[in-house]
Amino acid sequence: MQTRCYRCGRSFHIKKEEIVFALEALEESEGIHYDVRCPSCRHTNRVSIDQLRKGAPRSEESSEDSKQD
Ligand SMILES: [Zn+2]
């Protein structure tokens, strides 16, 4: 999904895998925002769980269970 840094205004892309991971982490911690760092200015932007859900892949084809920390 595409998002925009509210500090420097740069648009950047969040990978699907990262969205899936973020949603899982948020659901576990009952959080409502995912912190994503701008690749340009390194400012931390908050993306709401609603936005992540909209950007998340709908299919269940990815059954990879890779746990990275
Ligand atoms: Zn930025």
Look at residue 63 and tell me if it is in a domain: no
- The whole-number pLDDT of residue 58 equals 72
Q: What is the pLDDT of residues 52-67, one digit of tens each?
A: 999 987 755 555 555 5
* Domain coverage including residue 41: 2-55
Q: Whose CA is closest to 38, among 21, 57, 14?
A: 14
Look at residue 67 and tell me if it is in a domain: no
Look at residue 20 and tell me if it is in a domain: yes
Look at residue 66 and tell me if it is in a domain: no
Using a CB cutoff of 5 Å, list residues around ligand 1, an ion.
5, 7-8, 10, 38, 40-41, 43
Look at residue 61 and tell me if it is in a domain: no
Look at residue 64 and tell me if it is in a domain: no
Domain count, the chain: 1
Q: What is the pTM of this model?
A: 0.74
CB atoms within 10 A of CB 40: 13
